[in-house]
Amino acid sequence: MVELNPPENPYVQMLTGYIPKRFPLYCPGPPTPEFVEKYRVAERISRRTVDLGGDDLLIPKLLGFDAISLWQFRSPRKKAINLGDGTVIDAWGRKKRGKWYLNDGVLTNERAWEEWLTNGFFSYPDDNEFLKLASTLQELIQGPLAGMSFDASIAGGFEKMWQSMGFSRFAIALKNQSPLIGIALENFLTFSLGMVERWVKCTGIKNFLITDDMGYKGRSLIHPREWEAWVLPRYQKFTQKLHSRGCRVILHSDGQIETLIPLFIEAGFDALQALEPAAGVDIFRVMKQYQEQIMLIGNLDVSDLLVYRSPREVTIQTQKLLTCARKLGARLAISPSQQIDGFCKPENITAMCQTTLNFSRD
């Protein structure tokens, strides 16, 4: 079996604490079909797709990305409950109408949690599904995707916790120091740990992207002291279990999360992805403050820079990031802050990638 996190890959080297010969490139999830089509037309690419679950992974490879996060198996397998008025309840206990989630959830007390678990809503995909994916990945990494590294994306605990009860109820629970917060966090992270075990056993992947948004634009969702009291000890146990299995743990969080970064480091995360400039994150300040303490991935903005600006502006910003990281000894992987979508200009993504590939660490 060929390594799906090959040790010679620059991203894997940096994630494990080594200094690669060049700064790595990271693709946060498969680019959307809209972007793929635009890029194929712009670059006149006629080669057939490298299909993985309907996503074309040839394009990230051609662009030069070293690693990509996979989005298969991110949710429990239980089907949603249709309430008949256009509202559904998904397996996480969240209410959704149309494409929008409501400020409401159903996991609002201990009894609701007991019933939810008893009825099997936190059910896992069958091992055969993982094994089938593993077989496909082995074919790809020995062929058109040779040398790439794959992270598995799994759900975090905090975001799902407040969504499962609704933010208003969560805020009241937080004010009242309700034990339900701890119960929910532990149940969600227990489920995610089970996903990790299946990924490792069936595919050999050992790098995991934990998706757990913890910020608004301008500030964190909760005060750092609340995060320290409720979330920190549970994530410490979670990351310790992953590290004991030889895994690396990357946290993805949108929003302004700078005040939480010391706690992310204390929690044991190996890397932090997104670093959203549109939310107010100053990555230059972050690099200066933390340097090599935690790997940083992202900061190329998909809401402005990569959408509206010119390739020259993208090149200049990418060079600034790389120059700062080189000067400070920061561990930085260049990456869009979020998924590359159809609004991103192909020429801007190319500029970001080529600037990184041509940048010298010396």
283 in a structural domain? yes
The string of pLDDT tens digits covering residues 125-172 is 999 999 999 999 999 999 999 999 999 999 999 999 999 999 999 999
**Band of residue 358 on the pLDDT scale cut at 50, 70, 90:** very high
Same domain, 103 and 207: no
Same domain, 119 and 129: no
Whole-prediction pTM = 0.96
336 in a structural domain? yes
Structural domain including 113 reads 78-123
Same domain, 143 and 230: yes
Query: In the predicted model, what is the mean pLDDT of residues 52-68?
Result: 96
**Band of residue 85 on the pLDDT scale cut at 50, 70, 90:** confident
Query: In the predicted model, what is the mean pLDDT of residues 85-98?
Result: 90
Pairing of strands 295-300, 271-274: parallel
Note the helical H segments in the chain: 10-15, 33-43, 58-63, 110-118, 127-141, 158-165, 167-175, 180-203, 224-226, 232-244, 261-267, 283-290, 305-308, 311-328, 346-358
1 in a structural domain? no
Q: Is 208 helix (H, G, I), strand (E, B) or coil?
A: strand
Same domain, 110 and 199: no
Same domain, 84 and 232: no
84 in a structural domain? yes
**Band of residue 79 on the pLDDT scale cut at 50, 70, 90:** confident
Mean pLDDT computed over every residue of the chain? 95
Same domain, 34 and 178: yes
Same domain, 94 and 203: no
Tell me: pLDDT of 80 over 70. yes
3 in a structural domain? no
Same domain, 129 and 218: yes
Tell me: pLDDT of 103 over 90. no
Same domain, 97 and 130: no
Same domain, 197 and 226: yes
Distance CA 32, CA 228 (A): 36
Query: In the predicted model, what is the mean pLDDT of residues 47-73?
Result: 95
Same domain, 244 and 130: yes
Torsion of CA 240, 249, 333, 232, to 10 degrees: -70
Distance of CA 184 to the CA centre of its chain: 21
**How many structural domains does the chain have?**
2
Q: What is the CATH number of the domain that holds 174?
A: 3.20.20.210
138 in a structural domain? yes
Place of tokens 């990509």: 68
Same domain, 201 and 305: yes
Tell me: pLDDT of 362 over 80. no
62 in a structural domain? yes
